Amino acid sequence: MRIAAPIEIGPLDAAAQQAVRDLAAAAESHDGVAPLSEQPLLNLGTDAEWITHVVAHTTSGSTIGYVQVDRSGETASAELVIHPEHRRNGRGRMLLKTAERDATLPSRSGEPSQHGKQLRVWAHGDLEAARGFARAAGMHPVRELLFLARTFEQSAAPQLPTAPAGYHLRTFRPGVDDDAWLRVNARAFATHPEQGRMTLDDLRARQAEEWFDPEGFFLLVPESTGEGTSKDSADGAAGADPVAFQWTKVEPGRPDGVRDGEIYVLGVDPDHQGKGLGRLMTDVGLAHLARTGATRAVLYVEGDNAPALATYERSGFTRAAVHVQYARP
């Protein structure tokens, strides 16, 4: 019998990717929260210089632990999970140590932008085990991501709000609006560690997902302001950049009774903030999600984003969960 190495570092073939998805599903049904978020799941098949995959195996080769390190940002970000039946055996500690080495040691080929970074580890749901684990590793919370929710009363299907004078509300056109949207997204999220760095490849990866629906992706664009900026020009050009957007996400095939619709990304260009457009685009997202039959609207927001939190609280959202990022001081 082949004895599997306790840990393996390197790209994941299709079977190894599926084993990690199964591990994440086992942890989710045990812990009540998914241990890997969207981007690491999208990265499972990625063999990029800035991504490291580390898998822990039993001697017979079953996948019982996984950590992914993403060094593309200013700090390195990791997501880590150990199978519920194999916890408290030191495997979490072993994977964390490997991840930390990967992030902090300078690489042999000497790419300074890729290594030598502080490691930050996400704990989704802020579970007791994760808190104890982080404490034992000498790590402290450095960032909080809040998960907010509000239920819908399913009375009449709400109308989409109308755009204010001077603006036009329309849906996203894949392949036409991509660059204009990336520009406004980068401006709206200039200080956000992940969202503001989204690239065309990142956008296309999401467009290829089963849940992607351009009819649930709204742009608020200025009415035609002159030559060459027509929003519906005959050649299909994007026209003037949007000033605000609302991208919603509804996962297909969720079990009965779970009809969450997500306010996936909402942004307002900094030059147009403070005019009520955030509130308007929230209402656009809520009306759209209610029309899709969602029973609950959900969203993620940074714990220190006071203006966004105030907007969402005014719209009836309350805190349903918190995700915490840990790091060494």
Ligand X SMILES: CC(C)(COP(=O)(O)OP(=O)(O)OC[C@H]1O[C@@H](n2cnc3c(N)ncnc32)[C@H](O)[C@@H]1OP(=O)(O)O)[C@@H](O)C(=O)NCCC(=O)NCCS
Closer residue to ligand X in complex, CB, 51/129:
129
Taking CB under 6 A as the binding criterion, the range among 82-90, 212-220, 261-269, 285-293 that sits at the site for ligand X is 82-90
**Residues 4-43: x where in contact with ligand X by CB under 6 A, - otherwise, as a string:** -----------------------x---x---x--------
Half-sphere exposure (Cβ direction) of 148: Cα atoms closer than 13 Å: 22
Closer residue to ligand X in complex, CB, 16/280:
16
Closer residue to ligand X in complex, CB, 129/205:
129
Choosing from 12, 99, 103, 134, the residue that interacts with ligand X (CB under 6 A) is 134
Residue ranges with strand state E in 164-315:
167-171, 217-222, 244-249, 260-268, 296-302
Number of H helices, E strands in the chain: 8, 12
CA angle 59, 102, 90 (to 5 degrees): 40
Choosing from 24, 103, 130, 297, the residue that interacts with ligand X (CB under 6 A) is 130
Instruction: Enumerate residues 261-320 that contact ligand X by CB under 6 A.
Output: none
Choosing from 7, 26, 42, 127, the residue that interacts with ligand X (CB under 6 A) is 127
Instruction: Measure the CA–CA gap between 214 and 245, rounded to whole angstroms.
Output: 12
Q: What long-range pairs does 20-23 form, CB within 8 A, spacing at least 24?
A: 20/44, 20/55, 20/63, 20/66, 22/63, 23/63, 23/64, 23/65, 23/66, 23/81, 23/83
Asked whether position 119 contacts ligand X by CB under 6 A, the answer is no
Nearest CA-CA partner of 324 in 37, 68, 12:
37
Instruction: Measure the CA–CA gap between 147 and 326, rounded to whole angstroms.
Output: 17
Query: Minimum distance between the CB of residue 117 and ligand X, rounded to whole angstroms?
Result: 17
Instruction: Measure the CA–CA gap between 230 and 240, rounded to whole angstroms.
Output: 7
Choosing from 20, 121, 148, 243, the residue that interacts with ligand X (CB under 6 A) is 121
Closer residue to ligand X in complex, CB, 71/91:
91
Taking CB under 6 A as the binding criterion, the range among 46-54, 85-93, 282-290, 311-319 that sits at the site for ligand X is 85-93
Binding site residues, ligand X, CB under 6 A = 27, 31, 35, 80-82, 87-93, 121, 123, 127-130, 132-134, 136, 326
